[in-house]
Amino acid sequence: MIAFYYKCEKKIPQMNKKFLNNSITYVIAGLLLIGAFYLFLGRSFESSEEKDLGHLVRISKSAEGTAYPVNIEVNGDKLTYSKNGEVFKATKEPGTSVYEIMSASDIDPSSYSVVVKNGGSIGTIFSILIGLLPFILMFGFLFFIMKQAQGSGNSAMNFGKSKAKMFVGSKANVTFFDVAGLPEAKEELEEVVEFLKFPDRFTSIGAKIPSGVLLVGPPGTGKTLIARAVAGEAGVPFFSISGSEFVEMFVGVGASRVRDLFSQAKRHSPCIIFVDEIDAVGRHRGAGLGGGHDEREQTLNQILVEMDGFDTNNNVIVVAATNRPDILDPALLRPGRFDRRITIDNPDVNGRTEILSVHAKGKPIDKKVDMSAIAKQTPGFSGADLANLINESALLTARRNSKKITLADLTEAIDRVSMGPARKSKVISENERELVAYHEAGHAVVSHFMPEGKNVGKITIVSRGHAGGFTRYEQEDQSLMTKIELEAMIASMMGGREAEFITHKGVLTTGASNDFEQATKIAREMVMRYGMISDLPQRTYGKKQQAIFLGREQNEEQDYSEETAIKIDKEISKLLDEGKNNANKILKKHKKELELLAEALLKYETLDADQFRDLMEGNPLNIEVPKKAETKVKDKEKKENPKTKKGFPEPQSS
């Protein structure tokens, strides 16, 4: 029977356990209310009245000679008697009996009857328990309230217990083979794996492995994945916990959980402790709004002590991950704690090719698809973005009931991940559609004929997100950009507005707002950060102020004179004007190519890199015309004056 109970208990789902805990809480609350009702209202329903013994004697005398004797119940020293339906209570002296009292008053024994109830220890104990019942219920109710405040399924006595999840053996099945695009990070962590596998090799020569490894990089780059790979390669226990799980509403809970976590790690050494998002507890001390000594800082202090205190953690390696290393406390980053920092950045083109190949395993990818070509179209994508790209392409393939993931599916998935799904059902007038076509054609033509301009990868007038259309460029991985390249980017951004202005006789729309924003940002960085203006001293202008507690840039301190500020504004405006003039000259010179491209976009809606290049070289296009049912056009607005139109879409250049 007991074995059956435990088997059934193991099979109870987590949701049912939560329901059971909540039900118990409600039952306790109900019993508490019943106890209060018993204490404060119960006595009001009693019809008995406390009397003296003289009253009992008088009633008994009045019952002499009648057929209705007085019924007396004796419970210790307490008497309960009734007559004519009325119930009374009285108390006799200890050591005396009812018969003695009645005999002393010359009461006829036939006028009363006596029933003696057991008033021993059991009754006394029961009375005491009844009196203590409300207090027992109150403490029980508080116990369950504290349990619920700590979280479902956790006991109130386990506040200070660590919430870390431990993976041992086959559960930690991720290895370096599953990690792609991070060769330098894997090389650095292989040393950690060797120490965990063969610690004597290092200790015999007096070497000491770094006690902490800090993984730094943007979200989605694979920090957690490579930490799991280290544990999988070493075959040691792996404790995983988030930084936010240390801190609770009660003071001292975080520090207690840190102590418990490291205590468990020591018992299972050699092992790895992985703390994800350590910036939740590792921020600069004293940065809070209320001073310095709060619960988060106590937790951080305990982490510092455990990592490098008097009691060192042999064979316990702490691996932490964060995307905000700038806000971490310096004491956490010093040698002896996190003395090795590994930067995990977004992958380059080779890394993206490897990551795409890893995620493409087990999926029916068409043999004609070249993953390196897809990688060239996804600069700036993280590992998580690439995984999402492959998944989106698989969903698109399933949507059209196909068995193979084609290049078109992957290309469409790139646009969906970066810009959102296509809004082909959006109602748009023919005039607006024509403006969008010339706008995007202006971006592409200027970038194509501008010296050091970027190659066009795709151009479309299909609306996605808030953009009426977009132009995507073939971007190469580069860490440095020249002044000529930045000027070409400004000119191509200005090309959209200039194309509308030239082809529609001075018409101005709202579609270039995002282009102006990006162009102004580049021009400002060229003047204030990159030192690319000869008329200004080679320095940076403006000091960014950042609040550590808030973690965001608040404002920018002007560390230059008002005279210099006027010069900066003039140079920014000069760069924007030069970009506008360059775009205007190129579009007037290549107006024929501009019109051909706009007409092709109106007809085909989307052109890839090869099709755009053929069009610029004067070669004919062999493209199937898309179905017209996907785009709704208001024919009545076909010849409407564009000057009277409001709310044009905002095409953006990528």
**Residues assigned a catalytic role:** 440
Establish how many alpha carbons lie within 13 A of residue 607's alpha carbon, considering only the half-sphere containing its beta carbon: 28
Q: Which residues contact 632 (CB under 8 A, 6 or more apart)?
A: 425, 426, 427, 428
| 361 SS3 class | coil
Strands of 165-167's sheet, edge to edge? 165-167, 238-242, 271-276, 316-322, 212-216, 340-343
Cβ 223 vs Cβ 217: under 8 Å: yes
In 290-441 the beta strands, taken as DSSP E runs, fall at 316-322, 340-343, 427-429
Q: Which residues contact 505 (CB under 8 A, 6 or more apart)?
A: none
**DSSP per-residue letters across 581-614:** HHHHHHHHHTHHHHHHHHHHHHHHSEEEHHHHHH
Strand partners, 114: 72
Q: Which residues contact 394 (CB under 8 A, 6 or more apart)?
A: 363, 405
Helix H or strand E segment including 212: strand 212-216
**Between β-strands 49-50 and 86-91, what pairing exists: parallel, antiparallel or unpaired?**
parallel
Cβ 439 vs Cβ 512: under 8 Å: yes
What single letter denotes the amino acid at residue 552?
R
CA distances from 255 to 159, 247, 272, 300, 354 (A): 11, 8, 19, 8, 42
